[in-house]
Amino acid sequence: MGKLGIMIASDNPQRVRVALSLALHTQELPEAERPDDLEVFFFAESTALLATAPDDIRTMMQDLRQRGILLEACTNLVKSYQVEDAARALNIELLMANQTFSRWAREGYAILSF
């Protein structure tokens, strides 16, 4: 049924909520209607939000992980914003953005950006 990558670049908590809510609701679709793979990638300014994310955003992230959704963030940006401990505490996998986005392109992911 395809693959979906959700890239969150904004540090606006409301935009992050919308992106995570979309991921949660997509995962709730009947199995025949949901994508085969769904990943959420924190990029640009959104990585800074990892250290200060409101409780409801943290809960949404936890719900996604419990449903088997991969949450990722850019290794370089996490280091740049000095939020490595926060990313680890949220169980976010750190990957190079260029590798993730190249893989998404090679594997035919539809990409939504927030």
- Report the Cα 83 to chain-centroid distance in Å: 15
The model carries a pTM of 0.95
Q: What is the pLDDT of residues 51-98, one digit of tens each?
A: 999 999 999 999 999 999 999 999 999 999 999 999 999 999 999 999
> Is residue 54 a contact partner of residue 13, using CB atoms and an 8 Å limit?
yes
Q: What is the pLDDT of residues 87-101, one digit of tens each?
A: 999 999 999 999 999
Residue type, 10: S
Any residues with CB less than 8 A from the CB of 37 and at least 6 apart, and which?
3, 4, 107, 109
Partners of 39 in the beta sheet?
A: 5, 70
